[in-house]
């Protein structure tokens, strides 16, 4: 069991965990205080500001990591890990990261050692030459499955068979279900899939959340902290008075976890999401879970709603960090539903949207913060809004 005051050996350079060495109790106070301060500054009238919900685990909670190949110093030994703070071109090897399961650290170290021994080069951001770009590790927390994806340029010479054999020989707690290789020759320093090759196994892993099973493919979005987000989603859905036999809209639905949870009771659930790949995954997972009363629509939320004839009885929103645009908010307000549940990953844009909704006749009944990412600055929130009577 890790001590919360134990400083990660990578903290001097990595910078991923800004609250290294800060007690967890103090971290929670700081995050709760930030939310309260934002509400007060924007003059949001909140009926009840509930205590922050601690994470189930402070460590080893991330189910996905995207590592970068590079070097710490120009011309130095190849590294694999995270960008160094304040020095974007430098990469810090993070083979003892505390936010991931030890299997991640083993896979990272084994991959780096393998590539060093083979004499492979990493992709240089300035010269645009070299082979190795990224390593992506994904984990099914409830299923114990690992999916490993090596991202390279199309430069020849990589020994795929030896790499798979090396990985499969590792002593891991989890079971590797797939080893993939993604080819990317684009200049930008970002993961992009021009071609995906399955070197061994399958191109997805399985996960279970909210009593549902999800197939998560190599590049599908999925919540990073499964146990914590299950608490958050359960709380959010539980805020709705009664949605049995009603039509529920889940806007910015991602891969449709909340939509499918609503569909268990609602007459019909409609999920709307901008990313087409996420919508395809949501449809497939709904079929996997035997749910035929939910529909997923791809596109900008405002544009999709403009063309929908259905009227919702309840609305759940879970927007990205930028929040909800005024046009989309206007459309949501126009439905006049009695309750809106707002799930937020950014308290700053949340309060901006709450202010807008408050002006147009919705009051914030309650707000609760959730610490889904201990040791980092990130805070999630769930707000319940209710339409004031006598307002348009």
Dihedrals φ, ψ of 279, to 5°?
Answer: -65, -40
Beta carbons of 366 and 46 less than 8 angstroms apart: yes
Report d(CA 156, CA 135) in Å as an integer: 18
Instruction: Give the pLDDT of residue 88.
Output: 67
Instruction: Give the pLDDT of residue 1.
Output: 47
Phi-psi region of 77 (alpha: psi -120 to 50; beta: other; left: phi over 0): beta
Q: Confirm or deny that 273 is annotated as ligand binding.
A: yes
Instruction: Give the pLDDT of residue 391.
Output: 44
**DSSP output for 293-323:** SEEEEES-HHHHHHT-----SEEEE---TT-
Of 174, 209, 244, the one marking the end of a domain is 209
Of 175, 209, 243, the one marking the end of a domain is 209
Residue with tokens 């930030």: 34
Sign of CA dihedral 198, 200, 202, 206: negative
Residue 345 annotated as catalytic:
yes
Report d(CA 227, CA 221) in Å as an integer: 16
Report d(CA 351, CA 364) in Å as an integer: 10
- The per-residue pLDDT string of the chain (392 residues; one tens digit each, 9 = 90 and over) reads 455 546 787 776 786 788 878 899 999 999 999 999 999 999 999 999 999 999 999 999 999 999 999 999 888 999 999 988 777 678 999 999 999 999 999 999 999 999 999 999 999 988 889 999 999 999 999 999 999 999 999 999 999 999 999 999 999 999 999 999 999 999 888 899 999 999 999 999 999 999 999 999 998 889 999 999 999 999 999 999 989 999 999 999 999 999 999 999 999 999 999 999 899 999 999 999 999 999 999 999 999 999 999 899 999 999 999 999 999 999 999 999 999 999 999 999 999 999 999 999 999 999 999 999 999 999 999 999 999 875 44
Provide the token pair at 217.
């493919």
Predicted structure pTM score: 0.91
Q: Confirm or deny that 208 is annotated as ligand binding.
A: no
Q: Confirm or deny that 12 is annotated as ligand binding.
A: no
Q: Which domain holds residue 148?
A: 64-209
pLDDT digits (tens, 9 = 90+) for 178-210: 999 999 999 888 899 999 999 999 999 999 999
- Residues 143, 246, single domain; the answer is no
Q: Which of 46, 115, 294, 345 is catalytic?
A: 345
Report d(CA 69, CA 366) in Å as an integer: 45
Rg value, the chain, Cα:
22
320-to-100, 166, 176, 280, 380 alpha-carbon distances in Å: 23, 38, 31, 19, 11
Any domain includes 12 = no
Of 141, 175, 209, the one marking the end of a domain is 209
- The CA-CA-CA angle for residues 65, 99, 5, to 5°, reads 155
CATH number of the domain where residue 102 is located: 2.40.50.1070
pLDDT digits (tens, 9 = 90+) for 223-261: 999 999 999 999 999 999 989 999 999 999 999 999 999
Q: Confirm or deny that 88 is annotated as ligand binding.
A: no
- Residues 38, 170, single domain; the answer is no
CATH number of the domain where residue 326 is located: 3.40.50.150
């Amino acid at each position: 069991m890790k001590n919360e005051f134990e400083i990660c050996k990578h903290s001097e350079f990595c910078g991923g965990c800004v609250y290294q060495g800060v007690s967890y109790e103090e971290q929670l106070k700081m995050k709760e205080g930030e939310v309260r301060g934002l509400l007060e500054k924007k003059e949001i009238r909140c009926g009840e500001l509930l205590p922050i919900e601690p994470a189930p685990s402070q460590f080893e909670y991330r189910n996905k990591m995207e590592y970068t190949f590079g070097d710490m110093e120009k011309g130095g030994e190849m590294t694999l890990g995270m960008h160094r703070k304040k020095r974007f071109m430098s990469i810090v090897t993070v083979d003892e990261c505390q936010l991931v399961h030890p299997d991640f650290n083993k896979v990272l170290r084994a991959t780096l050692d393998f590539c060093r021994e083979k004499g492979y080069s990493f992709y240089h951001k300035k010269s645009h030459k070299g082979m190795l770009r990224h390593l992506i590790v994904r984990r099914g927390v409830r299923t114990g499955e690992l999916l490993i994806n090596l991202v390279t340029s199309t430069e020849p010479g990589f020994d795929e068979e030896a790499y798979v054999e090396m990985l499969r020989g590792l002593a891991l707690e989890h079971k590797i279900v797939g080893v993939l290789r993604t080819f990317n020759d684009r200049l930008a320093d970002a993961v992009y899939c021009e071609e995906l090759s399955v070197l061994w196994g399958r191109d997805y892993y399985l996960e279970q959340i909210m009593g549902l099973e999800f197939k998560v493919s190599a590049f599908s979005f999925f919540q990073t902290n499964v146990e914590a987000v299950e608490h958050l989603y359960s709380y959010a859905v539980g805020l709705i008075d009664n949605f049995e036999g009603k039509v529920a809209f889940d806007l910015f639905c991602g891969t449709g976890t909340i939509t499918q949870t609503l569909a268990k009771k609602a007459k019909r659930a409609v999920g709307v999401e901008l990313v087409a790949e996420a919508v395809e995954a949501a449809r497939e997972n709904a079929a996997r879970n035997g749910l035929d009363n939910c529909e997923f629509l791809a596109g900008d939320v405002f544009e999709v709603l403009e063309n929908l004839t259905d009227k919702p009885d309840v609305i759940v929103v879970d927007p990205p960090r930028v929040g909800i645009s005024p046009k989309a908010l206007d459309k949501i307000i126009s439905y006049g539903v009695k309750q809106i549940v707002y799930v937020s990953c950014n308290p700053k844009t949340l309060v901006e949207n709450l202010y807008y909704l408050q002006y147009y006749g919705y009051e914030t009944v309650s707000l609760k913060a959730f610490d889904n990412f201990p040791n980092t600055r990130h805070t999630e929130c769930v707000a319940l809004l209710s339409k004031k009577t006598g307002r348009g």
